[in-house]
Structure 1
Amino acid sequence: MSASPGALFADPFHEEFGTWMWGYTPYGGGGYGEVAAVAAAVGEGDDGAFFDAWVSAGDRLRAEAEESEAMGRRSASDLYLRASAFYASAYHPLFGDPVDPRLLEGFRRQIEAFEAGLALRGVHPVAVEVDEARIPAYLIPAFGREDEVRPLLILVNGYDATVTDSYFASAVAALQRGYHCLVFDGPGQGAVLFEQGVPMRPDWEVVVSAVIDYALTSPIVDPDRIVISGWSLGGYLAPRAASGDSRIAACIADPGQWDLGAGLAGFARQLGATDDEAANLTSLDDAVLDRLMSAIESNRKLRWSIVQRGFWVNGVSDLRSFLAKSAEYRIDDVDAIRCPVLLTQAEGDPIASAVPAFAAALHDVTVVEFTSAEGAGGHCSMRNRSTLNRRVLDWLDDTLGLD
C-alpha cells in the first residue's frame, strides 16, 4: 500500500500514528518540521525504524531539557514534556502480547521525561489503588492559579493513548482556561497495562470513583465542579463513570458511545457477516469466526486494531472472547446520567455514528459537530484539536459558570 499524496511517511500505517503530533503542536508538542524530520529518518523503514526515529528525536529533546534544567532555564519543563510526546509516538505499531521490549523501553523513557517535566512544576504522581491495579494519577493545577479552588477536569484515555497524550490533547488547553486537570491511566491503559498487565474493564465508574476520592483530598479542588472527559474509547468510559457517580457535575464524550457491541455489529457486516450473524456476535459458529478472522488478518490496520491492540487491552486471545468482552461495554442505565453531557460528532469518524441515538436517550445533552472542511472531521479531530478544545471548553465554561 503506497503513501497518499501529501503524506510525510512512506507507510500509510506510520502516517496515521506519526501525524498524531499535529494535534499537540498548539500545546507544546512537536511542530510540522520535527515530524517531517522523523518521517525522513524512517524513510522506507519498518516498525523498528519508526520506533528508532521517534526515540532518537525524543533523546535529542531530553538532552536539551537536561541542559536547560542545569542552566536554570524555565524552558526545561516544556522540553521534558515535549520529549515525552516524541517517545509516546514511537511504540504504537509494536502493540501486542507478549509485550515487545522496545515498547517498554520507549514507554519508560516517556514517563521519565513526563514526570521530570511535571516535577519542575511541583506536580508528582500518586498511586490510586483499584482492586489489583495501581493507577498513576497526576493532579495538575491551572496555569497561574495554582493555589485557587477551581473546577477539576478528569481526563480519560481510550484504547491507545496514555497520560502524555491526555496532557497535550486536552489538559493544556483546559489549564490555560483556569481548570485544574487530573490525568491518569487506568486498567488496560499505559503503565497499568504495559507494566502491571491489568486489562480494561467496562465498569469504569469504579475506577473514576476511586480517582475522585483521591482528588477530593486536595484543597484546590472544587467538589461541586468535577468534570469527566473521555476521548476515543473514553467516549464510552466517561459517560459510564457519570452513570455511576453523582459527584460528576458534567461529562464530555469525544465521541459519545454507549454500546460497543452494537458498533461491532456494523463492523462485522462490513467484513461480510450477514445481518443475522452481526446481530448475534457472541454466538457465532466457528466457520463464521474463521471467515471474519481471515478478513482481519488480511488487513494490517484491522489486524493491529483487533489482534495486536484489542486482544491485548482486553486480556483475551481469540476473536470470540474479544467479541464477548466488547459486548459488556454498554451503559444500561442511561437514565442515571443526570449531569449535563456534551457529545462530539466528527463527520469522518465511524465511531461517532451512535451519537444521535445516545443523545436522544440523555436528559441534558449538547451535540457539537466537527467537519472535514475545517480539518476536524477525523477521529477525535486529531488534525485540529485546537478547534475541538475551544468549542468544548466554551460549553464547559457556560455550563459551570467559570469565571
Structure 2
Amino acid sequence: MSTNPARRRNQLFDSAFHDRFGQWPVGYIPAGGADMGDVVAVANAVGDGDDSAFYDAFVSSGDAKAAAARRLLSAGHRHSARGQFLRASCMYAAAYHPIFGSPVDPRLLAAFDKQMGAFRTVMELSDPPVRPAGIPFEGDELPAYLVPAAGRADEVRPLLILTNGFDATMTDMYFASGVAALERGYHVLLFDGPGQGAMLYRRGVPLRPDWEAVIAAVVDYATTVPIVDSTRIALSGWSLGGYLAPRAASGEHRLAACIADPGQWDIADSMRRFLAVLGVPDADTVAFDSLDDATLTRLATAIESDREMRWQIVQRGYWTTGAADLRGFLRILAGFTLKDRVGDIRCPTLLTAAENDPLAAGTSVFFDALSCPKTLLRFTTAEGAGEHTEMINRSLYNQRALDWLDETLDAG
C-alpha cells in the first residue's frame, strides 16, 4: 500500500477519485459482495495507476473469483461457488465507474456483461433458482429479478421494490439493501429503469423524471406474481433514487410505503448550490434558461478543469440524461422536481439524511412539505454512517429502515 501523504483519512486508494468508487465493495461486505482483503488487494494493485489500471485490477479480481467459482461448482461445492460468483459480480461492477461516458467504452460493456453473467449464475444457484424477468414498458422490457424472501419462497409476502439512481445497477441494490430485506422476510424486486444499467449501457435509453410512469409498470408486473401481497408493496430508492422513489409515490398510489435515501424533492436545487460555489449571482433563484453563453462557457471551463466535477456532470450527467451540453443538462434537471406534486404523496414515507451528504441539504424542507404519514431518520459521522447513502455502514441503515418498514406494513 502506498504511503502517499496526500491520502485522506480512511482512504484505501492513492487517488481520492478512485477511492470514491473503489470503496463501494466495502459497503457490501455484510451482504457477501466482498471482504476487506479483496478491496485492499485491488488498491495495492492499482497503486498510483490511472483509470485503466483501476479497471484492470478490479476486472482481474472478478476474473479470479469467477474462475474459482467454476472450479468449486465442478467439485460440487454449490454454496461456496455461489459466494464466489457474488464476489466476482461485485468486483466487475466496481471496475468501470471512472470510464463512464458517451460513446460507451467497450471495456464498460465487457465488465458489465461479466457482472450480470455472474449475478445470473448466483440467481440460478439460489434455492429455489431465480430466473431473470422482463417488465413490459412502453414497447420495451425493463430487465428485472423478483427474488423471494429467504426460506419463504412459497409464501405470499410483502414486496420491496428497489430503485437505483444515477450510477449504480441491480447488483448494487441487491448488496446494499436486497440481502437485508430478503433476510427480513420481504420478497425483493430489482430492476433497471431508463438511464440505469442495461437500459442505458446497452440500449441507450436516458433517465427521465416521471418515475411514476416507470413504477406503474413495475407494480403492474408485481401484482401478477402469486407470492406478492399486492396490498403491501413498498418502494425504496437510494442516491438519485431518493428523488425517484417519492416522485413515483406521488403518482402510483398502489404503493403502501416509500423510502427515500436521502430524501430529495428538487434535483435542480443541488445544481443551484453548485452554481453558487462557482460564483453565479443569485444562484439559488436563477432560471437555468436565463444563463448567458459567457456564463455557461465559464462554468463549463471550471467543470472540465476539476476531475470530480467533470465526471459527475460531463461523463455521468450528460450521458445518463442524454444531454448534449451544459445548457441542455441544466434544462433536463429542471424537470426533476416534486415541488408541484409533494401533496400527492399519500403513503407513509421515510426520508433519510446523512450528516455529510450534500444531496440531503434539502431533506428537512422536503420533510416539512409532506402531508402524508412521515418519518425522518438522520445518520451521523459518529455512527460511521455520515456519508452519502450511509455507504460504509449499510448495516445500520438497513436495520433502521427495515424496522420502520416492518412497523409500517405490519410485516411479521
Calculate the TM-score normalised by the size of structure 1. Answer: 0.98
Name which of structure 1's ranges 137-146 and 267-276 shifts more when overlaid on structure 2: 267-276
| Whole-angstrom distance in 2 between the partners of 1:272 and 1:47 | 31
Alpha-carbon contact 1:251-1:340 (below 8 Å) kept: yes
Letter in 1 for 2:75: M
| Residue 181 (structure 2) aligned to one of 174, 191, 203 | 174
Moved over 3 A (4+): none
Structure 1 unpaired stretches of 5+: none
Structure 1, residues 73-120: CA drift from partner, whole Å, max 9, x if none?
222222212210110000000000000011011100000001111011
When residues 346 and 293 of structure 1 are mapped into structure 2, their CA distance, relative to the original with a 3 A threshold, is same
| Residue 44 (structure 1) aligned to one of 48, 52, 60 | 48
State whether structure 2 residue 266 is matched by structure 1 residue 259: yes
Letter in 1 for 2:353: Q
| Residue 124 (structure 1) aligned to one of 131, 139, 144 | 131
Structure 1, residues 299-332: CA drift from partner, whole Å, max 9, x if none?
1000000000000000011000000000000122
Structure 1, residues 129-180: CA drift from partner, whole Å, max 9, x if none?
3225431010000011111100000000000100010000000000000000
Alpha-carbon contact 2:206-2:320 (below 8 Å) kept: yes
Superposed displacement of residue 265, structure 1: 1.1
Q: Partner of 2:411: helix, strand, or coil?
A: coil
| Residue 295 (structure 2) aligned to one of 265, 280, 288 | 288
Q: Which residue matches 1:88?
A: 93
Superposed displacement of residue 70, structure 1: 1.8
Q: Partner of 2:131: helix, strand, or coil?
A: coil
Alpha-carbon contact 2:132-2:145 (below 8 Å) kept: yes
Q: Which residue matches 2:355?
A: 347
Q: Which residue matches 1:249?
A: 256
Alpha-carbon contact 2:154-2:227 (below 8 Å) kept: yes
State whether structure 2 residue 90 is matched by structure 1 residue 107: no
Name which of structure 1's ranges 304-313 and 208-217 shifts more when overlaid on structure 2: 208-217
Structure 2 unpaired stretches of 5+: none
Q: Which residue matches 2:386?
A: 377
% identical equivalent positions: 57
Alpha-carbon contact 1:25-1:31 (below 8 Å) kept: yes
Q: Which residue matches 1:357?
A: 365
When residues 104 and 359 of structure 1 are mapped into structure 2, their CA distance, relative to the original with a 3 A threshold, is same
Letter in 1 for 2:389: C
Alpha-carbon contact 1:85-1:164 (below 8 Å) kept: yes
Q: Which residue matches 1:389?
A: 398
State whether structure 2 residue 220 is matched by structure 1 residue 213: yes
Q: Which residue matches 2:80?
A: 75
When residues 201 and 131 of structure 1 are mapped into structure 2, their CA distance, relative to the original with a 3 A threshold, is same
Letter in 1 for 2:151: G
Q: Partner of 2:378: helix, strand, or coil?
A: strand
| Whole-angstrom distance in 2 between the partners of 1:402 and 1:5 | 40
| Whole-angstrom distance in 2 between the partners of 1:129 and 1:78 | 31
Q: Which residue matches 1:62?
A: 66
| Whole-angstrom distance in 2 between the partners of 1:130 and 1:90 | 29
Superposed displacement of residue 214, structure 1: 1.1
Q: Which residue matches 2:337?
A: 330
Alpha-carbon contact 2:273-2:284 (below 8 Å) kept: no
Superposed displacement of residue 56, structure 1: 0.6
Q: Partner of 2:153: helix, strand, or coil?
A: coil
State whether structure 2 residue 33 is matched by structure 1 residue 7: no
Structure 1, residues 328-386: CA drift from partner, whole Å, max 9, x if none?
00122111110000000001001001111111111211000000111100000001110
Q: Partner of 1:142: helix, strand, or coil?
A: coil
| Whole-angstrom distance in 1 between the partners of 2:305 and 2:75 | 53
Q: Partner of 1:275: helix, strand, or coil?
A: coil
When residues 316 and 133 of structure 1 are mapped into structure 2, their CA distance, relative to the original with a 3 A threshold, is farther
| Whole-angstrom distance in 1 between the partners of 2:306 and 2:248 | 34
Alpha-carbon contact 2:275-2:283 (below 8 Å) kept: no
Superposed displacement of residue 126, structure 1: 1.3
Q: What is the Cα-based RMSD across aligned positions, in Å?
A: 1.2
| Whole-angstrom distance in 2 between the partners of 1:347 and 1:23 | 17
| Whole-angstrom distance in 2 between the partners of 1:133 and 1:353 | 36
Calculate the TM-score normalised by the size of structure 2. Answer: 0.96
| Whole-angstrom distance in 1 between the partners of 2:36 and 2:200 | 31
Alpha-carbon contact 2:269-2:284 (below 8 Å) kept: no
